[in-house]
Amino acid sequence: MSGHISSLKGLRDLRLLDLSHNRFSGPINQAILALPEIRNVNISANRFTRINVMRMSNRPSQLHAIEAQNNQITGRLPINLITYQNLNYVNLGHNLFHGKIPVEYGERVSKGFWRSLFLDYNMLQGNVPPGFIHSSIRGSLAHNCLNCRRGIPLCPGRQRSPAECVRGH
SS3 per residue for 55-97 = CCCCCCCCCCEEECCCCCCEECCCHHHHHCCCCCEEECCCCEE
pLDDT in tens, the chain (169 residues): 888 887 777 888 999 999 999 999 999 888 888 888 999 999 999 999 999 898 887 777 899 999 999 999 999 999 999 999 999 999 999 999 999 999 999 999 999 999 999 999 999 999 999 888 878 889 999 999 999 877 788 887 799 998 999 876 6
Alpha carbon distance 60, 74 (integer Å):
27
Number of compact structural domains in the chain: 1
| C-alpha–C-alpha distance, residues 138 and 132, integer Å | 11
Output the pTM of the full model. 0.93
Which CATH number do you get for residue 76? 3.80.10.10
Q: Do residues 59 and 35 touch, judged by C-beta distance below 8 A?
A: no
Which range marks the domain in which residue 133 is found? 2-168
Query: CA triplet 55, 60, 61: central angle to 5 degrees?
Result: 75
